[in-house]
Structure 1
């Protein structure tokens, strides 16, 4: 590697949106203990990326400026650091980077071996890059928070998935249908056919009175809600929940945390459960294998070159993507 600099996209302060992103030349990082250096082929954006730029996660993230955003990457191993046992130069992989340090919107990235998994030829870089934050969140919400066994061995669960055409939602629908579930989903009118094609049993346009009220067309009460939207009050969920129903909120804000505490304090059988993603290598590996086997697909909203990363950023902030927004090479 004769050249020592690489193209990257970064921001140096909170705020600014897409216009706050700057194209820079920075040194190619060196893999440290238990890290691999990747030539990045694709990065997927998540809402948390622009929320961090907006300052909504200060003082935790970003850890320091300037900051190269992006955590979900697919690429080829170029070099391995000391202690790396499972990867060699030339291996194709999917990796999740730390939100604290980022790095995904660059030509080269370093990833920890502990959150890097092999990517078989059947899984494209874009499909693989879509998985880490969004599919892991869907997987954790379904298997841990809702207790659904994805081999279909648990008793039937009536499930509601809000914003089902979005990044987390579109994976949640597909994963839920691997289990014994009846899935009611909400999305915009233009995405109803897409969400049906992913396996949802009932699809509601969230702008209709029935959709806004979250009422199942078949009159079912929900045992669990995978809540991927924003701005829906607990009072809208509560009448639609079964006796022990729970709302699993993947982006809990202050009001959700208040509701969570209140329901706990009053020993309510209906609960709001805030979800904080705990990424695990074995789960990411499982998701990649599902894609390889044709049992899970990444719906790609759009692809943008790194040189136009701000277009992808603006599209993510707009909040109406169907599936995943990808920045490729």
Structure 2
């Protein structure tokens, strides 16, 4: 691609919310380096971490030499150009990719993706569906499997009782579907308007988070939770979680980082508690993204799109993200 050619982009330029948080700009099209590819973006999905990361970048801007402050990490698109040492992709390939949290770049006509965090996109997945998967889907996948909840997605393994908070959101709606692939009983919380939606995702019990039972996180059938996947932005005190946990129950908090959570983790460690609060730090891996795309291709995981916005109205999508009440995913299409 010709050097110096410009592209449209949305640039994060203030810590304010809504449409004042981003603005439309024209910036040079980036060039791929070693192990990188230039993608023509077809769709971009937004995640709360995009806003949080770029607020941090705004504060640290003087220390970043390559800081364009273009938000978003989840993209679906077409490979335009490959850099040196890229072996598994070529121009014209349709792909889905998760970009670096601190490099971002998804809210633009073109972006730079690394080969190791990019997978081929099957024709069954639309650009919007594919772009919705990476951060939210990978977060749900990681919390439920392997070293965290330890659920086997082939349905084997011991029965586990799971609680998923904010189950109608981006991470939550994937977490319910993935959990039900395993041998689980799923209790979920959401707003009253989404009770039927979450039931249709497969949850066994659904609580309105505004009711006394919902605020207390109590299972209607009296079950104690082996694992809680805490997706809600509400920072529940440990005293709410603890009586609802089984003897060795754990809370996996995808939003951990507040002082209360850090203190709770410390106290539980020094008191040798069998019940644990575990913070999640997502490190996206290409193999995990490939697994997630395959599950979606097979129809085992379906994406719900809260809203799809044209790029020209990308600031409206950004405002919707910050509002925090989306059902499923917010997507921007080119």
TM range (shorter): over 0.9
- Give the corresponding residue for 1:26: 27
- SS of the equivalent of 2:274 reads coil
**d(CA) in 2 for partners of 1:222, 1:155:** 14
Gaps of 5+ in 2: none
2:104 and 2:37 map into 1 onto residues whose CA distance is 15
What is aligned with 1:176?
A: 179
Q: 1:14 to 1:61 in 2, by over 3 A?
A: farther
Shift of 1:60: 9.6
> Which of 317, 329, 332 does residue 324 from structure 1 map onto?
329
Corresponding position of 2:238: 234
Tell me the secondary structure at the aligned position of residue 23 of structure 1. strand
Residue of 114, 117, 130 corresponding to 1:115? 117
Residue 61 of structure 1 and its aligned partner are, at CA, apart by 12
Is residue 2:294 matched to residue 1:292? no
Deviation at 1:17, TM superposition (A): 4.5
* SS in structure 2 of the partner of residue 7 of structure 1: strand
Q: Say which SS state the counterpart of residue 145 (structure 1) adopts.
A: coil
Alpha-carbon deviations, 1:155-192, whole Å to 9, x = none? 01000000000010000000001111100000001111
The answer to whether the Cα contact below 8 Å between 1:62 and 1:101 also exists between their aligned partners in 2 is: no
Whether the 8 Å CA contact 1:47–1:317 is kept in 2: the answer is yes
Shift of 1:120: 0.4
| Structure 1 unaligned residues grouped into runs of 5+ | none
> Any idea what the Cα deviations from partners look like across 1:14-35, whole Å, max 9, x if unmatched?
4455313111111111111111
Q: Distance in 1 between matches of 2:259 and 2:186?
A: 28
Q: 2:282 aligns with which of 234, 253, 277?
A: 277
- Per-residue CA deviations over 1:127-177 (Å, capped at 9, x if unaligned) read 111111111011111113111111111101000000000010000000001
Separation (CA, whole Å) in 2 of partners of 1:118 and 1:328: 19
Give the TM-score normalised by structure 2: 0.95
Question: How big is each residue's C-alpha offset from its partner over 1:83-136, in whole Å with a ceiling of 9 and x where there is no partner?
Answer: 000001111100000011110000011100000001000011111111111110
Rounded to whole Å, the distance in 2 between the matches of 1:43 and 1:61 is: 27
Question: Residues 150 and 175 of structure 1 are in contact (CA less than 8 Å); yes or no, is this contact kept in structure 2?
Answer: yes
Higher alpha-carbon deviation: 25-34 or 4-13: 4-13
Count of residue pairs the alignment pairs up: 329
**Contact (CA 8 Å) 1:15, 1:55: kept in 2 or not?**
no
1:279-324 deviation per Cα after TM superposition (whole angstroms, max 9, x unaligned): 1111100000111111001110001111111101111111000000
- Find out whether 1:156 has 2:159 as its counterpart: yes
2:161·2:184 contact (CA, 8 Å) conserved in 1?
A: yes
1:52–1:58 Cα contact (<8 Å) kept: no
Q: Tell me if structure 2 keeps the 8 A contact 1:160–1:226.
A: yes
| Alpha-carbon distance between aligned partners in 1 of 2:56 and 2:150, rounded to the nearest angstrom | 33
In the other structure, the counterpart of 1:188 is 191
Which residue of structure 1 lines up, in the alignment, with residue 128 of structure 2?
A: 126
> Normalising to structure 1: TM-score of the pair?
0.96
**What SS does the aligned partner of 1:321 have?**
coil
**Residue 147, structure 1, aligned to residue 150, structure 2:** yes
SS at match of 2:243: helix
CA RMSD, Structure 1 to Structure 2 (Å)? 1.8
Partner of 1:80: 82
| CA distance, structure 1, for counterparts of residue 36 and residue 23 of structure 2 | 26
